Structure 1
């Protein structure tokens, strides 16, 4: 089997910053940094992978977006959720997508899920350690399928990577989502049941976490490929 080496891949990192000066000190303006806050969920099912996330993005105490897309399809076999600083997460995701495509074209074969996950982990490792006035925090849950099966990886914000065999959650609302997953997850769960469980887990966070809200996106990875199966927005309006 061909030995894979990602060492020759260029790592291009985001260096944007939004500092403010106050009392002679360089301080971070938290409201100038767009963050996802977030509740994201990944579930391993018997016949596939389920990924889910809410739709809220924040800038400090401001709800900056109610339509944030936190579940992204990288190719026909791989998708991921993102949490953290939006600019870093978006940039890393774009570079990872490009490098996966280049690898497929050069090698004339599909990229394995573990290869894509290790590439993203290497990028995240470099990104959080770069010199910047804005911490490059980005956390990904990557799911996919290849010739050897279905896989779910947790790519943590420090660049560490873990193969998940049941479920995982990230973001500020994960403590609420994990409570649901801990109590309701079962081995050999079907994708259909996984969709319902993911929705229940994210909804639990929406009820309690102020940085999660405004809707739900769910993507499944099955033998038929990667598909968005749920895209719901929550509209709340008070009438007198």
Structure 2
């Protein structure tokens, strides 16, 4: 995968707008799902967990916890699971961390390559379909326990309506309404989102809802890491509006965490 970010490979094939198709035809060994990986790797590979996404008035927001696990061990407390796909979309990863991160890099290059060849951005539907093709290509490894299940969100330039797309391990694409979550803590995060999400949330309110959903997931799922007050590690959070994708700052995240925890302490919660 080292060759992908540098884009040093010759185009060939008449300049196809799909970088994935080009690499598959000429250098399949560079694809993250083209490697020969031992079956035992599923037990030893770090896995990323909970991602949440929700719409708000004017866009869409995605956040991911910072924990990666390897069996019963915490492999990392600082992993990043949410990335900008391009200027108007973001992608979050759950599943085998190494393969997932390589898939995100490939997806980013795929979208950039399309824009350079065609001179225009790919539509949001087109981006969602391209990501589904990558997930489908990983199916043989998924059957060995090395699955990657992304969550994709974005907005069409000039629009104020965010859209969410989830996937299954076969690459099936499903558009979600209002909010969604993937990963080991998703069942708990999804329950929180159902209670907390409201139509026309403000951008700052959406951050607080996402943080609280991840805190709920971390409370019941050992593979999900909640906000780490000692290390000041907050969920990686990206917002997408008509102005583009932007990472939510540390100060805003810290304030959202403090708001949620202060309210819970004041309520005297025990469960």
Q: TM-score range by the shorter chain?
A: 0.7 to 0.9
Q: Counterpart in 1 of 2:239?
A: 220
For 2:144 and 2:60, how far apart are their aligned partners in 1?
33
In 2, the alpha carbon distance for the partners of 1:191 and 1:156 equals: 29
Q: Which protein is richer in helix relative to its size?
A: 2
- Partner of residue 48 from structure 1, selected from 55, 59, 83: 59
Runs (5+) with no aligned partner, structure 2 = 1-16, 25-30, 228-234, 258-271
Write the distance in 1 (CA, Å) between the matches of 2:197 and 2:22. Answer: 38
CA distance in 2 between partners of 1:18 and 1:45 (Å): 43
Aligned counterparts of 1:89 and 1:112: Cα–Cα separation in 2: 23
* Aligned residue pairs, count: 221
Q: Are 1:110 and 2:121 an aligned pair? A: yes
Deviation at 1:56, TM superposition (A): 0.3
Q: Counterpart of 1:99 in 2: which secondary structure?
A: helix
TM-score by length of 2: 0.74
- What is the aligned partner in structure 1 of residue 37 from structure 2? 17
C-alpha distance in structure 1 between counterparts of 2:123 and 2:168, whole Å = 19
CA distance in 2, matches of 1:230, 1:219: 9
How far, CA to CA, are the matches of 2:150 and 2:126 in structure 1? 15
Q: 1:39 aligns with which of 50, 59, 76?
A: 50
Structure scoring higher RCO (CA < 8 A, sep ≥ 6) equals: 1
| Match 1:82 to one of 93, 98, 106 | 93
Cα-Cα RMSD? 2.5
Match of 2:221 among 176, 199, 209: 209
Structure 1: gaps of 5 or more residues? 20-27, 235-240
How far residue 146 of structure 1 moved from its aligned partner, in angstroms, is 1.9
- The counterpart of 2:133, out of the listed 109, 114, 122, is 122
> Is residue 229 of structure 1 aligned with residue 248 of structure 2?
yes
Q: Is 1:195 matched with 2:207?
A: yes
More strand per residue: 1
Q: Report matched runs for 1:32-181 at 5 Å.
A: 32-36=44-48, 38-129=49-140, 134-147=144-157, 149=159, 150-181=162-193
| 8 Å contact from structure 2 (residues 158, 242) kept in 1 | no
1:173–1:122 distance in 2 versus 1, CA, 3 Å: same
**Residues 64 and 118 of structure 1, relative CA distance in 2, 3 Å threshold:** same
The C-alpha deviation readout for 1:157-186, integer Å capped at 9, x for no partner, is 221111122110001101111111111212
Cα distance, 1:147 vs. partner? 3.2
Give the TM-score taking structure 1 as reference length: 0.83
Cα deviation for residue 87 of structure 1 reads: 1.8
Q: Deviation string for 1:34-81 (max 9, x for gaps)?
A: 111x11101012211010110000111110100000011122211111
Q: Identify if the C-alpha distance between structure 1 residues 30 and 104 changes in structure 2 by more than 3 Å, giving closer, same or farther.
A: closer
